[in-house]
Chains A and B, each alone.
Chain A
Amino acid sequence: MPWKSISPIEIYKLLPRTNCQKCGEENCMAFAAKLVNMETKLDKCTPLLEEPKYKANYEKIWSIIKPAVKEVIIKRGDISLKIGGEYVMYRHDLTYINPPPIALDVDDEMSENEIINRVKFTENFSYTYTGINLKLDMIAIRSVSEDPKKFIKTVKIVMENTKLPIMLCSLKPEIIEAGLSLLKNDRPLIYAATKSNWNEMAKLSKEYKCPLAVFSPGDMDGLLTITKNLIDSGVGDLVLDPGTFVGNGLSTTINSLVAIRWKACEEENPLYGFPTMGVPMTAWFLMDGDKLKKATWEAIAAASLIVNHVSLLVMHSIEGWVLLPITLLRRNIYTDPRKPVSVKPELKVIGNPNEWSPVFVTSNFVLTYYLVSGDIENSKIDSYLLIVDTEGYAVDVATAANKFIPDKFKEVIDESGLEKKVKHRILVIPRKAAKISGDVEDAIKWRVIVGPSDSSEIPAFVKNEWPKILEEWKSENK
């Protein structure tokens, strides 16, 4: 059965109804409303979680709101990574919940320097996007030597150089155990149980209370068989890896991920209700060609898996041009589709503008707004930003589709009282909207200056051109 919305009343009836606000909401009804939209978590209602008299109700609510895909937690120190926890097959059916963490690999035959470099790169990776900091999440430590001593040494180096959660990778249980012995209070991901070692790996997973990946490349019968056995032997936190075949076989990988998620969400088959994982770094040993080609195919594999339900990724490239589009794509796909595309058309005041400060114009597409306002704020330019209603289209699309129209300029200028705030009558519009400048000028009787095509160029524009433009206007309008 596909996703069906839940009535908040149904949940509200089972809540304590004390309006204690411990969950951070105004009252129990508000909490129920957020809960059915998956915008908050049930365990935020601490009375329900902790007081014995509510135990039955807690379980009842949980059975109603339990995700189709189990949420599995990988943890180290204070950092917890949640994977899975999904409700729907397609993002527009509700929203996707937990963006897939990205692990970069190190191996136990790398030099200490190389390991430290890669670990530091992973930890320091950061890109600010619409006010959100995009990060990498994990280190995958691979045993290439298959020597437990070397593995222990590598795990130690990683632990000393980062706080990020860890994934221990070897198909040999004794190597995994060597690694686990150093991470006793944490929950690293064990990679992986296979058809030949699942029994021993199950023991380790239980003994160390760690989640366990199941690896059965290109063999769904095998994947399910091992999964079933692991569940029967009491291991509950599993991550399914059907194998990532970059190049030949990529179709098998994509279809396996689609099938797993479909069975979990649309057919409610609990055997498939686990997070999945993919390993785009297999591009580095499956593809022929130079590094550029391998890294490109690693990016292609990663993108294909992100849009096809993967819950965790292991990558090798430390190329910014691979990781930047991948982390941005992940953010895009895991953005809540119920959030509006547009911001309110209005006049935004940036810094402390005076009556001769510039007035920049942009569209009310949420992403454009974030970029432009962010650029102006960061460069500390006192100014006004006029957000014109373009029905949520970006500047270039709005211009091409005739949605950047003079009437809308007029509306927001009038409503905001801009004419009282500045003495000049100059609007700076984006270069991408250059072709509307004449029409706007005629309609609203302001001078329309074509400014930079990208808001990153606004500081240079203000420094080099704005003074001239303003002087010219002043001399013409004495």
Chain B
Amino acid sequence: MEKSDKNPYRKIAESFIKAFEDSDEIELDSIEIAIDKLELLLSSITRQIITPTIMPPQIVKPIEVPKVKFEKPKMVWPGKIIEVEIGATRSMGGTRDKTYIIGGEKAPSFYFFEKPEIVMPHKPIFALDIFDMKISLPKAVRMFYGEDVLNDPAEWARIAIEKFNADMITLHLVSTDPNVKNTSPSEAAKIVENVLQAVKVPICVGGSGNPEKDVEVFSKISEIAEGERILINSLNLDMDLKKVLEPIKKYGHVVIDFSPMDLDKARQLNRKVYDYLPKNMIVIDMNCAGIGYGLEYGYTATQRARLAALRGDEELQHPLVAGVSNAWAAREAWLKMDPLWGPKEIRGPIWELLTGLCMLLAGADYFMTVCPTTPSTLKEFVEYIYGEKVFSKEELYNWVSTKIG
């Protein structure tokens, strides 16, 4: 009640009168009332209008309803995801300004029935892709960078971090493929060095996908980046694992084990890698595909791996990678379509964003994205989810009757 009001209770009395006129009974909910004053006003003002027979006290009471209490779901997740640290500062033997830890989940991602810092202590990491040669990228990605930048991996990396707010970059050494440019391991290592100098955040380095060449390339860059704890993308069962893991182990890097859509192969690969690396240096990738082009497979493989891990499968208790850039394999992401479907410059980024969002909700921890708008929007989403900011629950009733302009 406003104290300054001349007749502080007139308003409420008037509204009572109105309420009595309009209805048979009224419910008082969440209202604090000073009983003595209210009785006085009701008796003096309402008596003229309302006969005593229709206002005995029992009418002015809330409708009696049996209260049901919500109980938290009875979920038991005996497993815990291993924490993997990427990057190394000077004190750790590297040259990075900071490191990131991913993993540590004790429940499926964003199941916040406990405090977020307990069940999901580390926020996911969003990286932008850069390439060691000019490749065909969709216009909706190119338009954010100058054409020159796309020829300069170091500058590309710097812009990705400084301008587009990515946490990390994923450098793809695609030119090393024998069928592309067959760039030598030492030339590739120089590019890695340049990128390491251009940015001060941890980096992830990928090969070309050729299993023989990747072994050579990864061995060389492991040596050149000694102590930096870079994330190597990726190992698979087709590789000579002994040959590649010895240098990775020696120079202290962390790896991604890649087993598309196959939980058994993921376990098998992890078991082989355990012979060389401790578990807290391994991240797994179950593959990712875009909305409309196989999203369900990557989504489900990722979700299954995470749930199995939380249910106690120790061989899958690793943080998960999502190669969200694969969203662009869906033609709807880049094709010029009927205007009804919107300009591709908007449609494409949305495609990658929503693909990434689904993988985030499936449990992924490290995101490879290529569109510069994706990391910042996904981070905004994560901030909202983690946030304990105040929001009005009552206000939401109004969506039904609010004019939307």
Task: List the B residue with the shortest CB-CB distance to A267.
Answer: B74
A402–B177 alpha-carbon span in the complex (Å) = 12
Residues of A within 8 A of B209 (CB): 399-402
Q: Does A362 contact B (CB under 8 A)?
A: no
Partner of B387, one of A248, A396, A400: A248
Interface 0/1 of B375-388, CB less than 8 Å to A: 00100010011110
Partner of B304, one of A92, A218, A319: A92
Interface 0/1 of A215-255, CB less than 8 Å to B: 10111110111011100100000000001110111110011
Task: List the A residue with the shortest CB-CB distance to B359.
Answer: A307
Partner of B384, one of A250, A292, A322, A435: A250
Partner of A394, one of B210, B294, B351, B403: B294
Cβ of B65 to closest chain A Cβ, rounded Å: 6
A196–B394 alpha-carbon span in the complex (Å) = 12
Residues of B within 8 A of A215 (CB): 397
Q: Does B8 contact A (CB under 8 A)?
A: no
A213–B27 alpha-carbon span in the complex (Å) = 22
Q: Does B350 contact A (CB under 8 A)?
A: yes
Interface 0/1 of B317-360, CB less than 8 Å to A: 00000000010010110010111111100110011011001100
Q: Does A170 contact B (CB under 8 A)?
A: yes
A282–B395 alpha-carbon span in the complex (Å) = 11
A249–B391 alpha-carbon span in the complex (Å) = 6
Task: List the A residue with the shortest CB-CB distance to B401.
Answer: A144
Q: How many A-B residue pairs have CB under 8 A?
A: 228
A251–B381 alpha-carbon span in the complex (Å) = 10
Partner of B260, one of A219, A244, A401: A401
Q: Does B400 contact A (CB under 8 A)?
A: yes
Q: Does B163 contact A (CB under 8 A)?
A: no
Whether A91 contacts B399 by the Cβ 8 Å rule is no
Near A by CB (< 8 A), chain B positions 83-142 give: 110-113, 136
Whether A435 contacts B112 by the Cβ 8 Å rule is no
Whether B303 contacts A90 by the Cβ 8 Å rule is yes
Whether A263 contacts B73 by the Cβ 8 Å rule is yes
Whether B396 contacts A435 by the Cβ 8 Å rule is no
Whether A171 contacts B358 by the Cβ 8 Å rule is no
Whether B347 contacts A248 by the Cβ 8 Å rule is no
Partner of A337, one of B292, B300, B340: B300
Residues of A within 8 A of B332 (CB): 324-325, 328
Q: Does B314 contact A (CB under 8 A)?
A: no
Residues of A within 8 A of B339 (CB): 320
Q: Given A224-B68, A324-B341 in contact, is the A251-B396 Cβ separation under 8 Å?
A: no
Whether A300 contacts B396 by the Cβ 8 Å rule is no
Residues of B within 8 A of A341 (CB): 261, 294, 297
Whether A319 contacts B74 by the Cβ 8 Å rule is no
Q: Does B44 contact A (CB under 8 A)?
A: no
Whether B112 contacts A251 by the Cβ 8 Å rule is yes
Near B by CB (< 8 A), chain A positions 310-330 give: 316, 319-322, 324-326, 328-329
Residues of B within 8 A of A129 (CB): 292
Residues of A within 8 A of B112 (CB): 251, 255
Q: What are 20 A-B contacts with C-beta separation under 8 Å? A: A92-B303, A109-B403, A170-B400, A221-B69, A229-B66, A243-B393, A249-B393, A250-B385, A255-B110, A267-B74, A300-B354, A300-B381, A319-B342, A320-B341, A321-B346, A324-B347, A329-B291, A337-B300, A371-B331, A396-B326
Known: A243-B393, A439-B179. 17 other contacts (CB 8 A): A142-B400, A144-B402, A171-B401, A191-B400, A195-B29, A217-B396, A221-B69, A223-B70, A228-B68, A262-B75, A307-B358, A307-B362, A329-B295, A333-B296, A341-B297, A394-B329, A397-B329
